[in-house]
C-alpha cells in the first residue's frame, strides 16, 4: 500500500469500488454537519479538521471501515456501539463493510466533536 497520500481521492482509489462508495458516503455525511470542515490526510488516513483542530479520521480495511472520533466521543457513544454490536476500542469504532453505515450515529459523533472543539 502506498505510504503517503495527498488527498482523499488518492486514498479511496486503493480500494474496490464498493468500498470507495461507502467512504464517499461517509465523507458526505461528515461534511454535511458543518460547512467549515476541512479535509486533510492525518496519520495516512482521510481526516477532517474543524477550527484547525482534529475532528475525526477514518480508514478502510478488509472487512470494515474504522472510524476515529477521538477518545471522549468513544466513551460518550459506547452504549450505542454495544447496542448496535459494533466492535470498538478506546479510540475507534468498526463499521462492517457488509452493513450500511450508521449515518445517524456518525453524524451525532461529528456533532459531539464540533461541540467539544467549540467549548474548548
3-state secondary structure of 17: helix
Task: State the pLDDT confidence band at 5, using cuts at 50, 70 and 90.
Answer: confident
Task: Kindly report, residue by residue over 58-104, the tens digit of the pLDDT.
Answer: 999 999 999 999 999 999 999 999 999 999 999 999 999 999 999 99
CA angle 74, 51, 66 (to 5 degrees): 30
pLDDT for 105 beyond 80: yes
Task: State the pLDDT confidence band at 4, using cuts at 50, 70 and 90.
Answer: confident
d(CA 78, CA 57): 17
- pTM exceeding 0.85: yes
Amino acid at each position: 500500500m502506498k505510504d503517503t497520500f495527498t488527498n482523499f481521492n488518492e486514498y479511496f482509489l486503493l480500494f474496490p469500488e464498493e468500498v470507495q462508495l461507502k467512504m464517499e458516503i461517509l465523507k458526505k455525511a461528515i461534511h454535511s454537519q458543518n460547512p467549515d470542515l476541512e479535509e486533510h490526510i492525518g496519520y495516512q488516513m482521510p481526516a477532517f479538521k474543524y477550527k484547525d483542530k482534529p475532528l475525526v479520521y477514518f480508514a478502510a480495511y478488509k472487512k470494515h471501515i474504522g472510524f476515529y472520533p477521538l477518545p471522549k466521543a468513544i466513551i460518550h457513544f459506547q452504549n450505542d456501539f454495544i447496542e448496535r454490536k459494533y466492535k470498538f476500542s478506546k479510540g475507534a469504532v468498526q463499521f462492517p463493510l457488509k452493513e450500511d453505515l450508521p449515518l445517524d450515529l456518525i453524524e451525532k459523533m461529528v456533532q459531539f466533536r464540533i461541540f467539544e472543539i467549540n467549548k474548548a
